[in-house]
């Protein structure tokens, strides 16, 4: 159960392939996206479920629970794997009503939880209900897991994973760009406020005013809030926009560093992929980003929501000799090999699944 086809294909494909190889039937429930065709071609069964990722309409939310219950009746799963908040919560409630074991994965807490207030109270209450009978709840960073511990959710069933891991073969180490080229900073992710895209754009303006030898590029889906910003970016030519891409590896390979000024993350997959390719990462000093690099060794951190701090990190990077930049990239690759190989995540899932099913 997921809220987007990319959640499965980009970050769980190796688990899907392993399950299929070992003779399991795999059913995907998700809104339709182009990656669904790739998954069904592998042998997965697909059931379309439309989810409003940010909506909180009570009628629609209750309807989603009923939809999940209907799906469980139709497919009669032996076990359910859920990812992201609504599949975790509403899928968990549906599984509990049928006694179907569920493994949930908390991929991040999101704005509703981190900003506090009434929305946090509602979300925490929903998590408590949705995860009450799950067999295992995986977390992608220690701070998220600690939040659930503080609120007494899923006691005795919590476990930490190294994010979603990174496929080291799909994202191999790439030789660092040659000295003398324009230094390109790359943003990979949804172009939205919570990913810090506004700060990325402001920093690009400031840095380019002082340095002609720098480029900024963004790759990802553009949320509607930034459509006007994109028009201005094109007009002023301070950030180039490549749009949403099926494969971002070539863009990472062409960059000198990947930048993510995000406000909150479970574990940033774009930073893991960048480091795996041998690119330094410059990221917000927040849970889900700070784990992906070693300060001053494979990247630089900066304060979230702070353009001055972001510009400071960019300038520190620009001041490094070319050889030092390349060394940071190699250090990042070594860290991914030691700590974030996706096979670690797949093996842990398989152990949990086999334990539950008695395989």
Q: How far apart are CA 80 and CA 357, in angstroms?
A: 11
Instruction: Over range 231-257, report the average pLDDT.
Output: 86
Residue 289 has a pLDDT of 96
Q: At what angle do helices 227-236 and 197-210 cross, to 10 degrees?
A: 10
Residue 58 has a pLDDT of 67
| 186 bridge partner residues | 217, 258
* pLDDT higher than threshold 60 for residue 359: no
Instruction: Over range 101-121, report the average pLDDT.
Output: 81
Mean pLDDT score across all residues of the chain? 91
Torsion sign over Cα 186, 286, 272, 140: negative
Q: At what angle do helices 197-210 and 307-319 cross, to 10 degrees?
A: 50
Instruction: Over range 327-343, report the average pLDDT.
Output: 97
Instruction: Over range 301-316, report the average pLDDT.
Output: 97
Residue 115 has a pLDDT of 67
Tell me the CA end-to-end span of the chain in Å, nearest whole number.
22
pLDDT grade for 117, boundaries at 50, 70 and 90: confident
Q: How far apart are CA 68 and CA 313, in angstroms?
A: 45
The phi and psi torsions of 295 (rounded to 5 degrees) equal -55, 125
Residue 139 has a pLDDT of 95
The number of beta carbons lying within 10 Å of the beta carbon of residue 335 is 20
Digit-coded pLDDT (tens) for 130-183: 999 999 999 999 999 999 999 999 999 999 999 999 999 999 999 999 998 999
Residue 232 has a pLDDT of 74
Structural domains in the chain plus CATH codes = 5-165+341-357 (3.40.50.2000), 183-339 (3.40.50.2000)
Residue 256 has a pLDDT of 98
108 and 265 in contact (C-beta within 8 Å)? Answer: yes
- With CA atoms as reference, report the closest residue to 237 among 267, 192, 205, 274: 205
Q: How far apart are CA 332 and CA 283, in angstroms?
A: 13
274 and 281 in contact (C-beta within 8 Å)? Answer: yes
* pLDDT higher than threshold 70 for residue 56: no
Instruction: Over range 310-326, report the average pLDDT.
Output: 98
pLDDT grade for 99, boundaries at 50, 70 and 90: very high
């Amino acid at each position: 159960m997921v809220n987007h086809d990319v959640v499965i294909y980009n970050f769980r494909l190796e688990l899907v392939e392993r399950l299929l190889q070992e003779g399991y039937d795999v059913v995907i429930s998700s809104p339709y996206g182009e990656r669904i065709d790739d998954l069904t071609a592998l042998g997965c069964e697909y059931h379309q479920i439309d989810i409003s990722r940010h909506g909180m309409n009570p009628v629609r939310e209750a309807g989603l629970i009923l939809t999940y219950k209907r799906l469980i009746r139709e497919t009669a799963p032996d076990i359910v794997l859920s990812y992201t908040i609504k599949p975790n919560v509403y899928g968990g409630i549906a599984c509990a009503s049928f006694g179907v074991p569920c493994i949930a994965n908390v991929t991040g807490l999101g704005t509703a939880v981190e900003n506090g207030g009434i929305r946090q109270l509602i979300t925490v209450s929903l998590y408590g209900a949705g995860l009450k009978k799950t067999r295992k709840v995986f977390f992608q960073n220690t701070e998220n897991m600690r939040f659930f511990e503080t609120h007494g959710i899923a006691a005795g069933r919590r476990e930490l994973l190294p994010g979603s891991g990174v496929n080291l073969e799909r994202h191999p180490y790439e030789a660092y760009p040659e000295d003398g080229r324009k230094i390109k900073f790359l943003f990979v992710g949804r172009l939205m406020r919570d990913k810090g895209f506004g700060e990325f754009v402001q920093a690009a303006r400031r840095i380019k005013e002082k340095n002609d030898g720098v480029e900024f590029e963004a790759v990802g889906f553009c949320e509607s809030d930034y459509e006007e910003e994109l028009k201005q970016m094109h007009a002023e030519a301070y950030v180039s926009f490549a749009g949403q891409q099926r494969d971002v590896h070539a863009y990472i390979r062409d960059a000198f560093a990947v930048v993510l000024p995000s406000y909150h993350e479970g574990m940033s997959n774009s930073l893991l992929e960048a480091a795996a390719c041998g690119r330094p990462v410059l990221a917000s000093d927040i849970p889900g980003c700070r784990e992906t690099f070693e300060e001053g060794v494979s990247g630089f951190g900066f304060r979230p929501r702070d353009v001055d701090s972001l510009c400071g990190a960019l300038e520190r990077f620009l001041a490094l000799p070319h050889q030092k930049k390349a060394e940071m990239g190699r250090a990042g690759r070594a860290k991914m090999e030691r700590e974030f190989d996706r096979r670690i995540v797949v093996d842990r899932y398989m152990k949990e699944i086999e334990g539950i099913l008695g395989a």
